[in-house]
Amino acid sequence: MKRGYEVKFIQSAKNEKVKQWKKLRTKKERDKTGLFLVEGEHLVYEAKEADAIVEVIVTEQYYPKLAKSRFSDDQIFMIASSLEKQLSETETPQGIFAVCKQEMDQEVKGTRFLLLDAVQDPGNVGTMIRTADAAGFDAVVLGHGSVDPYNSKVLRAAQGSHFHLPIIRGHLNEWIDRLKEMNISVYGTALQNAVSMYEAKLDSKFALLVGNEGQGVSEELLQKTTQNLYIPIFGKSESLNVSVAAGIFMYYLRGK
């Protein structure tokens, strides 16, 4: 039996599978199914490595390049190249996509957490997930009002870090309580009523809480933290980009 004949080949945009995959571009469908769609070689192979893949979708052109032995036959779908644009959200699609399972394990483990309060820009959220991964953090928790972490732009900016550490959605109010019960210090970030990070006494077990660029962290959450910190501004700019600030904080708090 030739292998090529076993793989499902989809040519019509009206195919039910294609319709389902397209729907995964909406948050509603992702929430309902617990699935999400990634695209591009790098993300697909990161997903594979993390055992998160349900289905892998390749164009006819890409098919010969696919490392087929790494997938089971019934996971692979080949699509007509004309359908690629229907699934892709990039300008230069690479011909490879995967449907993945969202991480549902919400267990709290570790000593370093990043909490995001209503961060809405997908590029910023993805970049912060990537930085949290690089800095060796144990989880990222997205509070109410934050962008869906399985949004394609977040996935793209995070460059696969979704598959390296737990990305959790939760109520930050409850998370702060829980972390403090675990003796993990919670450091809010604020421009006022805060201590310079250089002058603060810092613990090695901590959660860093950052907010959106416009409003920062909500007053209610800032009241609940162990301590609130700021990065000194030595020049004339009013503030830093949130994902740059989060990076400076994460590496500073982490230390050597």
Task: Pick the binder of a copy of itself from 161, 212, 225, 228 (CB under 8 A).
Answer: 161
Least distance from a copy of itself to the Cβ atom of residue 226, Å: 22
**239 belongs to the binding site for a copy of itself (CB under 8 A):** yes
Name the strands in the sheet holding 76-79, side by side, starting at the edge strand that comes first in the sequence.
8-10, 76-79, 53-59, 96-101, 35-39
- Those residues whose C-beta lies under 8 Å from the C-beta of residue 15, and which sit 6 or more positions away, are none
User: Which one of 52-60, 80-88, 181-189, 229-237 is the stretch in contact with a copy of itself (CB under 8 A)?
Assistant: 229-237
User: Which one of 27-35, 70-78, 177-185, 230-238 is the stretch in contact with a copy of itself (CB under 8 A)?
Assistant: 230-238
Give 197 or 217: the residue with its C-beta nearer to a copy of itself. 197
Task: Pick the binder of a copy of itself from 72, 92, 183, 237 (CB under 8 A).
Answer: 237
Interacting positions 88-147 with a copy of itself (CB under 8 A): 123, 127, 130-137
Name the strands in the sheet holding 112-117, side by side, starting at the edge strand that comes first in the sequence.
167-169, 139-142, 112-117, 206-211, 185-189, 227-230, 195-196
- Token readout for 44 is 């697909």
Q: Which of 170, 31, 49, 30 is nearest to 107 (CA)?
A: 170
User: Which one of 1-9, 19-27, 30-38, 237-245 is the stretch in contact with a copy of itself (CB under 8 A)?
Assistant: 237-245
Q: Which of 109, 108, 107, 156 is nearest to 129 (CA)?
A: 156
Q: Which of 103, 101, 232, 244 is nearest to 164 (CA)?
A: 103
Which burial class, exposed, middle or buried, applies to 252 when counting CB atoms under 10 A from its CB (0-12, 13-18, 19+)?
middle
**243 belongs to the binding site for a copy of itself (CB under 8 A):** yes
Interacting positions 16-75 with a copy of itself (CB under 8 A): none
**192 belongs to the binding site for a copy of itself (CB under 8 A):** no
Give 54 or 245: the residue with its C-beta nearer to a copy of itself. 245
Least distance from a copy of itself to the Cβ atom of residue 78, Å: 29
How far is residue 168 from each of residues 60, 139, 146, 172, 225, measured CA to CA in Å? 36, 7, 11, 11, 19
Task: Pick the binder of a copy of itself from 149, 160, 188, 216 (CB under 8 A).
Answer: 160
Contact 174, 143 (CB under 8 A): no
Give 57 or 246: the residue with its C-beta nearer to a copy of itself. 246
**155 belongs to the binding site for a copy of itself (CB under 8 A):** no
Contact residues for a copy of itself (CB under 8 A)? 123, 127, 130-137, 157, 159-161, 164-165, 198, 231, 233-241, 243-245, 247-248, 251-252, 254, 256
